[in-house]
A and B are shown apart, each in its own frame.
Chain A
Amino acid sequence: MSSVETIIRENKSKGVDTLIGYFPAGYPTLEASVEACVAMCEAGVDVLELGIPYSDPVMDGLVIQQATEVSLATGFKIREISKIIKAIRQRVDTPILVMSYWNPIIQYGVKQLAEDLVSAGAQGMITPDLIPDEAAEWLQISDEYDLDRVFMATPSSSTERLAKAANSSRGFVYGVSTMGITGTREDLDAKARAVVSGVRDSRTSTPVCVGIGISTAEQVSEVNSYADGAIVGSAIIKAYNEAGIDGLVNCVRQLKTGK
């Protein structure tokens, strides 16, 4: 069974909130991104979502856009992703899911990347602009390499599509909380609850975690009350931008424990 899924289930049975934290690889430099990721894991994220920067990130708001632009400008290359994963893996056991838009992956080679992820110690991939309908190659290769694959379930998805997203996913399915791109929002839509219950109605056993717009400890614990975990990105990067590693660590601790 997927280690991501195992951790999510264990947290649930212990009554502990699950926090999935995003950080872009190579931001602001390769070494600094390793330090930031390790610090996030040590401060309490249950799953690390490691972003591969991309020139045209249409699901991302300004905070993540600006961070990934910096990473690309300082020369980030995908072949360095294994090095980054290995460096993190040497210091922490937290499961790592790589988040990437689809074009960088097909240029690198889906199979090649799968092989690299396995040997570096990552658990799978989150693919925001790949729907299961277009994912034949990735479905096959992720089975072959026993990697997690996370697809999106959104407020606009039909009942059939919610089921398709959930059944195609392994690790968890990404419940999109609101119609929109990454960033921080004051109020989380009631729509997030509908997505989660829609996924559950499809009688899938895949956990459903909720992301997009989550920025406060209250939101994390609220989401955990009806879903299997909360995903936070922009708020963590903002904290890092404002107060470095200390800011990031404080932010993650607060999100995870509510204190």
Chain B
Amino acid sequence: MSEKPVLSSQNGPYFGQFGGRFVPESLIAALDELDETYQAAKTDPAFIAELSELNRTYVGRPSQITEVPKFASLAGDIRVFLKREDLNHTGSHKINNVLGQALLAKRMGKKRIIAETGAGQHGVASATAAALFGLECVVYMGEIDTKRQALNVARMKLLGAEVVPVVTGSKTLKDAINEALRDWVTNVTSTHYLLGTVAGPHPFPTMVRDFHSVIGHEAKAQLQAEHSLIPDVVAACVGGGSNAIGIFHAFLDDPVRLWGFEAAGDGIETGRHAATLSEGKVGVLHGAKSFILQDEDGQTIESHSISAGLDYPGVGPEHAWLKDIARAEYFGITDDEAMQALKALAETEGIIAAIETAHALAGIIKFGSSLKPGSSILLNLSGRGDKDMETVGKYFGFIGDTNE
């Protein structure tokens, strides 16, 4: 047992065979600069103090832990604790990473940030940081997502960002990342690409994870202090994987099961899903080697999910590694399972989660009963559902198609 490698000390560029920097040479200097700036900032007391003060006074950290017994009873004789990232300023975990990177952009003297967004939460967080720090901000968003997350488009515009609808390819998150990369290749000296998840070339997977690891470290201490327990399972939804790795990381070397829930869309068997870790093959996409939904020719297959934030055919390399070494388990959750779980949490506990997050809630309902009675689950409630009310309203018929 003492021979066990320390998983939590693993940093990029590689996690096992995964990760790396598969990008055009044009971007290497910027990635090197970012890595150097980050390495210096990470141990600089001034940077650490500035970020933690922002986290406290602007984001509202630490986010609280809420026990949800009525919801838990739907999953059997277990206890469920929610880490309330939905209560952060801007409504999701995304702000943790954005503030960290925005401070780095300032350090590098870059006056312009660009970002991709799916659900719009990362775009909103980026636009927020840009307003706060006086940076120019351009957000690339698939045209389909600009429609299903229209409310977040309005928020970004109100915050002063330019939102560019992307009309190429599948018109969702994958193509928004392509467009952001093209912008970055062109404007790399003036611009920081504020990538919103733990995917992409090194140093993004490691750096974004570090900025989110506050989630797991806080939760671990809070559960100890408030409930005197170590959870049996830590659970989260997985799109690119940032909220999941954020809560997993503090527990990587502990005897705790890690469950990640990805979008199974219409069902894995239909082929219309975004279950990259369950169904993908090893390849290179957006700068890193990881699991990817692709055909035998290495062409990316378009993903499908009711949740814009999980609708992505790739996943961060650290998750690929954690799956490969069987440290974490990943499961697919269908659109309908997620929507029913979203409704269940709202009805039983008065908390409206984002559709992304609802995939993890559904996972608990689905697999919670397989645990020993009395087990406890810590779940990352990564975001709130306000942005999703149109989709939810239509799904459950609260917003009728018949006009009264």
Chain A residues in the interface with B (C-beta under 8 A):
54-59, 61, 65, 69, 72, 77-78, 102-108, 128-131, 133-134, 151-158, 161, 165, 176, 179-181
A108 to B284, CA, bound (A): 13
B185, A59: Cβ atoms under 8 Å?
A: yes
B298, A108: Cβ atoms under 8 Å?
A: yes
A131 to B181, CA, bound (A): 16
A56 to B174, CA, bound (A): 8
| Closest-CB distance, B185 to chain A (whole angstroms) | 6
B178, A58: Cβ atoms under 8 Å?
A: yes
A133, B299: Cβ atoms under 8 Å?
A: no
B22, A102: Cβ atoms under 8 Å?
A: yes
| Closest-CB distance, A242 to chain B (whole angstroms) | 21
Given contacts A55-B169, A78-B298, A107-B298, 4 further A-B contacts (CB under 8 A): A131-B22, A131-B23, A156-B29, A180-B186
Task: Select B283's contact among A65, A72, A106, A181, beta carbons within 8 Å.
Answer: A106
A78, B185: Cβ atoms under 8 Å?
A: no
Query: By CB atoms of chain B within 10 A, which of A69, A105, A156, A180 has the most?
Result: A156
- B24-38 CB mask vs A (1 if < 8 Å, else 0) is 111111100000000
Give the bracket for the number of chain B residues in contact with chain A.
Answer: 35 or more
B278 within 8 A of A: no
Chain B residues in the interface with A (C-beta under 8 A):
20-30, 168-169, 174, 178, 181-182, 185-189, 281, 283-287, 292, 294, 296-300
A104, B24: Cβ atoms under 8 Å?
A: no
In the complex, 23 of the A-B residue pairs with CB atoms within 8 angstroms, ordered by the A residue number, are A55-B169, A56-B286, A58-B23, A59-B26, A59-B185, A65-B168, A69-B169, A102-B22, A103-B294, A104-B297, A104-B298, A107-B296, A107-B297, A108-B297, A129-B22, A129-B23, A130-B22, A154-B25, A156-B188, A161-B25, A161-B29, A179-B187, A181-B182
B186, A156: Cβ atoms under 8 Å?
A: no
* Chain B residues within an 8 Å CB radius of A102: 22, 284
A56, B188: Cβ atoms under 8 Å?
A: no
| Closest-CB distance, A178 to chain B (whole angstroms) | 9
Task: Select B294's contact among A107, A133, A151, A156, beta carbons within 8 Å.
Answer: A107
